[in-house]
Each structure stands twice: as C-alpha cells, then as structure tokens.
Structure 1
Amino acid sequence: MPLLDAREVHGGYGGMNILNGVDMAIEADQIGVIVGPNGAGKSTMLKAIFGQLNVTQGDILLRGEPIQNLPTNRLVELGMGFVPQEHNVFPSLTVKENLEMGAFLKPGNVKRMLSKVYEFFPPLHEKRHQPAGELSGGQRQMVAMGRALMAEPELLLLDEPTAGLSPKYMYEIFDRVKEVNAAGVGILMVEQNAKQALAIADKGFVLAAGQNRFTDTGQALLADPDVAKSFLGG
C-alpha cells in the first residue's frame, strides 16, 4: 500500500479547476518530485493534499485512508507535514522557538525531536538562540523543514525548497532531503531546479495544465528526450 495515493484529483480556487485529474503515489521510503512549467498545478497539488484547497473530485489516500478536504491540523495529527515556499519562518522568534512551535501537537517530544532536528541540520544548533529572520535563505529553509519535522511526520510536503537559493545551498538542501528520507520520512516536493531534483527522486511527476504528462522514476525522466526537450531545457 502506498504511503500517499492521489487518484484523479480535481480542484482549484473560486470554482475554477486548476487540477484536472492528477494521479500521484509514493511509497513510505521514497522521494517524489513534481516538476513542470509555471501554472502547471504543481504547488496547487501540494495544497490539495494538505487540505488548503477544495478537492472537487477524486481521492487522496494516506496509508489507504481517505484524507481529501480534511482540516490541516487533522492532517498533521495523521502524520503529514507541509513546508510552504514563502513566509515559512517566524522571523522575530529564535531558531529554537521556531522549532518548538512545530511540536505544539506533541509537546512531550520537544527535547528528543530538537536533538534529532539538530542532527539533520547542524547549523541550526549553532544558531539556535539567533532570530530566524537574521539567517541566510538556506538556513531559514532548514528552520522551516526542521519545524515541520518536529511533529514527526511520515510524509513531508515541500513547496520549492530551493527557490532563490545559491547552488551551494540548493545541493545542501537536497542532501538534507535525502537524509530525512533515509530516516524514514516519505518526501513529496515541488521543485523548479528540475534536473537536480529528479536526480534524487525515486518517483517523478511532470505536470502540465493540471494533468500528468509523464510519470516515471527520476532517472527515467531525466533520460527521456521528450521530457528533456519540453520540460528540462533540452
């Protein structure tokens, strides 16, 4: 049974569909990457999975149980975490305070999970007493990911985790994604750095106009000339 299984998902905003029958499934030990042109519905799909927009048709299953249109706090309780692309830290709070905010549903786990997050992201331990707003973009992204991990999710959704980052931090974030996944957290992320993201993906989903154009392993998509020509810049 897949960890996440989305079938024929339709949904959007204000009565207008952006998703027009998207299928997406990953296993618990996999990294899934969603790529495609602007306006393809990539971030919209993450929001549909995380209950941030109305799914009008189709099913989204977490460990075989339907979750579409559940409130986000219930999804966190069920084992899902979400890191949005923007406004994903509290800039006036310290790094440690930001992380503690992520454990509000499991306050008894704070000490143990802080230790675990610092293992994933060693720079955060060094800067734990510093306001998050003073960090570099890459370190702020680590804070956002760390805060989501504080609730011990089985599935972590990442929306453009390397947007605006230098190549150095891009590869650093991808390395951390692989480590988090190896520790037992399924990952589904939207990424603009498509080639680099597909290189670490077990499953890749190429969306266009709110539909699946290609679905395969990351390596197979990278090797597909049609995918390269249409979506990866040649």
Structure 2
Amino acid sequence: MPLLEAIDVHGGYGGMNILNGVDMAIEADEIGVIVGPNGAGKSTMLKAVFGLLTITGGEIRLRGEPITNLAPHKLVERGMGFVPQEKNIFPSLSVAENLEMGAFLKPGTVSRLKRQIYDIFPPLYDKRHQPAGELSGGQRQMVAMGRALMNEPSVLLLDEPTAGLSPRYMNEIFEQVKRISATGVGVLMVEQNAKQALRIAHRGFVLAAGQNRFTDSGEALLADPQVAKSFLGG
C-alpha cells in the first residue's frame, strides 16, 4: 500500500480544470518529483493533495485512507507537511521561534524536535537566534522545511524548494531532501530544476496539460530520450 496515492485526480480554479486525470504514488522514505513545462499543473497538483483547491474527480489516499478535499489543518493532524514556494517563513521571528511555530501539535517535544532539525540542517544551529528574514535564500528554505518537519509528518510536500537559489544552495537543499527521506519521511516535490531533481528521485512524474505523460523511476526518466528531448532540454 503506498504511503500517498493520487488516483485519476481532476480539479482546478473557478470551474476550469487544470488537472485532467493525474495519477501518483510514493512509498514511505521515497522521494517523488513532479516535473514538466510551465502550466502543466505541477504546483496545482501539490495544492490539490494538501486541500488548497477542490478536487472535482478522482481520489487521494494517505496510508490507504481517503483524504480527498480534507482541509489543510486536518491533513496536518494526519501527518502531512507542506512548504509553499513563497511566504513560507515568519521573517521577524528567530530561526528557533520559526521552528517552534511548527510544533503546535507537539508542545511537549519542542526541544527534542529542534535538535533533530539542527541535525538535518546544520547551518541553522549557529543562526538559531537570528531573525529568519535576515538569512540567505537557501537558509530561509531550510527554516521553512524544518518548521514543517517539527510536526513529525509522514509525508512532506515541497513546492519549488530550490527556486531562485544559487547552484550551491540548490545542491545543498537536494542533499537535505535525501537526508529527510532517509529518516522515513515520504517527500513529494515540484521542481523546475528537473534534471537535478530526477537524479535524487525514486519516482518521477512528468506532467503536461494536467496529465501524466511519463511515470517511472528518476533514473529511467533521465535515460529516456523522448523525455530528455521534450522536457529536459535535450
């Protein structure tokens, strides 16, 4: 049974479908990567999973249980974390305070959870008393991911975690995504840096016009000449 599964999902905004029958599944401790051209429905799919838009057809399941159209706070209670691309930190709060905001469902375990986050994201420990808004873009992304992990989710959704980052921080974020997955957390992320993301993906989903065009392991997709030509720049 997959940890997270989407079956024939349809949905969109204002009565217009953007998703036209998307299928996805990841197991615990797997990294799933959604790639495709602009307007393919990548971020829309992630928002559909997290209850931020109404699914008009199909089903989403977490550990085999239907979660279709559940409100985001209900999904957080069931063990799902979500990191949006923008406005994903509290800039005036310190790094430590940002992390503490993520543990509202686990108030008695804050110290232990912060130690775990500093183990995953070592640069944050030295910055823990600094306002998060003063950090570099890569470090702010670490804070956002760390805050989502403070609730000990079983699955973490990441929307463009390396957007706007330098190559150094992009590689660092991908390494930390691998570290998160190794702890047993399933990761489903949307990425524009498709080649680099597929290199760490256990499963890859290539979307176009709101539908699956290719679904395979990251390694197989990178080796597919049709995928490379149409979606990875040759």
Cα separation, 2, equivalents of 1:108 and 1:40: 42
- Residue 185 of structure 1: aligned partner: 185
1:29 deviates by 1.9
Segments of 4+ moved more than 4 angstroms: none
- Residue 124 of structure 1: aligned partner: 124
Cα separation, 2, equivalents of 1:148 and 1:163: 18
1:108 deviates by 1.3
SS in 2 for 1:68: coil
Cα separation, 2, equivalents of 1:102 and 1:68: 24
1:109 deviates by 1.6
Amino acid at match of 2:203: K
Q: TM-score, normalised on structure 1?
A: 0.99
Cα separation, 1, equivalents of 2:84 and 2:119: 22
Count of aligned pairs? 234
Alignment of 1:24-63 (within 5 A): 24-63=24-63
- Residue 70 of structure 2: aligned partner: 70
Alignment of 1:1-234 (within 5 A): 1-234=1-234
Amino acid at match of 2:158: L
SS in 2 for 1:215: strand
1:105 deviates by 1.4
1:30 deviates by 0.7
1:57 deviates by 0.4
Cα separation, 1, equivalents of 2:68 and 2:103: 24
Cα separation, 2, equivalents of 1:70 and 1:140: 28
SS in 2 for 1:129: coil
1:185 deviates by 0.4
1:176-215 deviation line (CA, Å, top 9, x unaligned): 0000100110000000100000000000000000000000
Q: TM-score, normalised on structure 2?
A: 0.99
1:8-36 deviation line (CA, Å, top 9, x unaligned): 00001111110000000011121000000
1:133 deviates by 0.4
Unaligned runs of 5+ in 1: none
1:75-111 deviation line (CA, Å, top 9, x unaligned): 0110100000000001011100100000111111211
Percent of paired sites with the same residue: 79
1:32-80 deviation line (CA, Å, top 9, x unaligned): 0000000000000000000000000000000000001111111011010
Q: Give the RMSD, CA atoms, in angstroms.
A: 0.5
SS in 2 for 1:130: coil
Cα separation, 2, equivalents of 1:201 and 1:56: 29
Cα separation, 2, equivalents of 1:226 and 1:98: 43
SS in 1 for 2:20: strand
